[in-house]
Chain A
Amino acid sequence: EAQVTQNPRYLITVTGKKLTVTCSQNMNHEYMSWYRQDPGLGLRQIYYSMNVEVTDKGDVPEGYKVSRKEKRNFPLILESPSPNQTSLYFCASSVGQGIGYTFGSGTRLTVV
């Protein structure tokens, strides 16, 4: 089944403890992206990647890192999480430019 898989689905962590949210897609898509969703703000792009080793900042990249060492994987790294990073995070992939993203199931992150 074609899908975007994120793990974990739920995560509670403490301020400052490094964490990684994994994302993998099995559709051989070129583009991958991370979004965060907060009430009243919609979906805001954190980072996106156009291919292996090619990434670019979205609208809210501060406090996040990404890497794209393999085409299928695009992990999101929070080096020192803070409470304002509590949010619902979605990974997404797309086969090409100008084609809609397919979203993963989401990761609900709480930083205390």
Chain B
Amino acid sequence: GENVEQHPSTLSVQEGDSAVIKCTYSDSASNYFPWYKQELGKRPQLIIDIRSNVGEKKDQRIAVTLNKTAKHFSLHITETQPEDSAVYFCAASMSNYGQNFVFGPGTRLSVLP
């Protein structure tokens, strides 16, 4: 089955700097890759996603890149703000087979003022 690895497990950046979180997946059949943000005590919330027919997607300060050949995808947050502090999860799934999302273990991002 699919296996998703995520690095780093913790990340501290200064406010205004950029943050990058990387994930790798094992199943080349995976074709949908969402990213979730989970603030302390809250539910995971979808922040951006990408499909395998696209190499990059941006939404304001957030971007995701996908390298299908290397089977990895990354989340990029620019101009980080204190409210970006949270745990971020990547996931991979085969969108033509149910909705079996496999999540990475998460990255705790701390944005220091």
Contacts and interface: CB of A to CB of B under 8 A. Distances in A.
Query: Are A and B interaction partners?
Result: yes
Interface of A: 31, 33, 35, 40-45, 48, 50, 56, 58-59, 90, 94, 97-98, 100-106
A101 B99 contact: yes
B100 interface: yes
Contact of A98 (B45, B93, B102): B93
A40 B31 CA distance: 25
Contacts of B97: 97
B104 A42 contact: yes
Interface of B: 1, 6, 31-32, 34, 36, 43-46, 49, 51, 89, 91, 93, 95-106
A101 B102 CA distance: 12
B100 A103 contact: no
Contact of B32 (A40, A58, A90, A98): A98
B31 A98 contact: yes
Given A50-B98, A98-B51, 8 more contacts: A40-B105, A42-B103, A48-B99, A48-B100, A59-B100, A97-B96, A97-B99, A98-B95
